[in-house]
Amino acid sequence: MTTRLMRAFVLTAPGKYTVHEVPAPVAAPGEAVIDVDRVGVCGTDMEFFTGAMAYLHQGHSSYPMRLGHEWAGRVAAVGAGVDPVWVGRRVMGDTMLGCGVCRRCRRGHQHVCEKRQEVGIRGERPGALAEQLAVPVTSLHVLPDSVDAVLGALVEPGGNALRAARAAAPRPGDRALVLGPGTIGLLVAMFLRAAGTEVHLMGLADNSLVFARELGFTCVWTEDSVPDLPFDAVVDASNAAHLPGLALELVEPAGRVVYVGLAGEPSGIDTRRLALKDVTAVGVLSASPGLADTIRAYADGSVDPRPLVAATIGLDQVGPVLAGDRPTGAGPGPKIHVDPRIS
């Protein structure tokens, strides 16, 4: 029997990669094989490219590896025990794949399972930077017709952002400050705006702030120009180690701080200030509990993140993008998408 081949982007070492043919996946029992339509390039992928990703040093990941965890596609085949009705469905998938039997999984917290795999990230589960990938059918979410492939590949980052926005517990008339106008920060701002919150954004004095204004966010600041206003919630969606502490300083007493960004080095907060201000602090790791509601928000148009996508490239252009190059003709948005079918 001849082994089917497909093209894939394979990261072989820090800064080293190849695009070549690899064996196409075969659906194991309980799995589905997906024809990939779109994949988002994420900051996590860039950390693997540089070798800075903590999982590499903790033994959870190793080279060679296939990246890609923000994806949308169509079910091409299913394995034993899977209803064939799945074939042909347009889907996206959860990144976090718990073991299914531990206490955390049984309590519905599979995204923090100690033995979890993460698609394209952890546990040698290949990602979507390829023409096809295989995942458990239980991880799939069906995409309605109104959620195209571009939106489908934005569901995973959107789920993280939705959870962060909800953790801010917004009420109509509340004022929230989002630190970091990257993909996640802008998505958080969109979900907060949809909830009726007065949204402020803080970032560096560069094109990201100009782009935020183009998205309709008029209250946009740099760190030295944030106004002296009561912020009922502050969401840190940055990678700056000092901003978690600043979030705590800026939030209103009895407010909420939400940490969804990750710095490359340890950050600190003064828990005395946390207690004396009676502040609630929430950390957000995963999109998993927010995926279904994110799809609904995209489907009904209450949140439309399409403008965040600056360009769509092929597999051969992924390496330069991970190295920091901007595709020729890219728009102002922070997100780059990949279509594995582009040659």
Residue 288 is predicted with a pLDDT of 96
Residue 1 is predicted with a pLDDT of 60
Q: Give domain status of residue 119, yes or no.
A: yes
Same domain, 209 and 223: yes
Q: Domain end: 267, 283, 299, which one?
A: 283
CATH assignment at residue 225: 3.40.50.720
Would you state the structure tokens that stand for residue 90, as one six-digit string? 């347009």
Residue 343 has pLDDT above 80, yes or no: no
Q: Give domain status of residue 241, yes or no.
A: yes
Q: What is the mean pLDDT of residues 58-70?
A: 97
Count of domains in the chain? 2
Q: What is the mean pLDDT of residues 108-117?
A: 95
Q: Give domain status of residue 137, yes or no.
A: yes
Domain that holds residue 325: 5-154+307-338
Q: Residue for token digits 């040093």?
A: 57
Radius of gyration of the chain (CA): 20
Would you state the structure tokens that stand for residue 230, as one six-digit string? 């009561």
Which residues lie across from 235 on neighbouring strands?
178, 258
List, for residues 144-185, the tens digit of each pLDDT value: 999 999 999 999 999 999 999 999 999 888 999 999 999 999
List, for residues 96-108, the tens digit of each pLDDT value: 999 999 999 999 9
Determine what percent of the chain is predicted with pLDDT higher than 90.
96
List, for residues 35-48, the tens digit of each pLDDT value: 999 999 999 999 99
CATH assignment at residue 128: 3.90.180.10
Same domain, 168 and 108: no
3-state secondary structure 31-85: EEEEEEEEEEECHHHHHHHHCCCHHHHHCCCCCCECCCCEEEEEEEEECCCCCHH
Which residues lie across from 8 on neighbouring strands?
20, 130
Same domain, 27 and 132: yes
List, for residues 212-245, the tens digit of each pLDDT value: 999 999 999 999 999 999 999 999 999 999 999 9
Same domain, 166 and 258: yes
Same domain, 17 and 150: yes
Q: Give domain status of residue 299, yes or no.
A: no
